[in-house]
């Protein structure tokens, strides 16, 4: 089962916010920096950034 498969990244982000998910505690990075922060360059970081942008939000994982 893949319940989020048909949702856009922005819709997934909005759904997480409705559930009070703290996105500052998460990242989607394939190649995190030595300190654990997202690289901001990989495909996953780019897709996440696009999702937050389309949702009209700043990604808290990139703005500590």
* DSSP calls for 6-30: TS-HHHHHHHHHHTT--GGG----S
Q: Is 15 within the bounds of a domain?
A: yes
Task: Determine contact, residues 44/28, Cβ cutoff 8 Å.
Answer: yes
What's the rounded mean pLDDT across residues 9-20? 95
Residue 63 has pLDDT above 80, yes or no: no
Confidence of residue 46 (pLDDT cuts 50, 70, 90): very high
Q: Is 50 within the bounds of a domain?
A: yes
Q: Is 59 within the bounds of a domain?
A: no
Q: Is 62 within the bounds of a domain?
A: no
Confidence of residue 6 (pLDDT cuts 50, 70, 90): very high
Provide the domain count of the chain.
1
What pLDDT is recorded for position 64? 58
Separation of alpha carbons 50 and 64, rounded Å: 18
Host domain of residue 47: 9-54
pTM: 0.84
Residue 32 has pLDDT above 80, yes or no: yes
């Amino acid at each position: 089962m893949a319940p989020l498969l048909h949702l856009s990244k922005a819709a997934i982000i909005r759904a997480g916010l409705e559930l009070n998910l703290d996105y500052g505690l998460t990242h989607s990075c394939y190649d995190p920096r030595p300190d654990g922060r997202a690289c901001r360059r990989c495909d996953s970081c780019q897709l996440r950034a696009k999702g937050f942008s389309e949702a009209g939000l700043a990604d808290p994982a990139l703005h500590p």
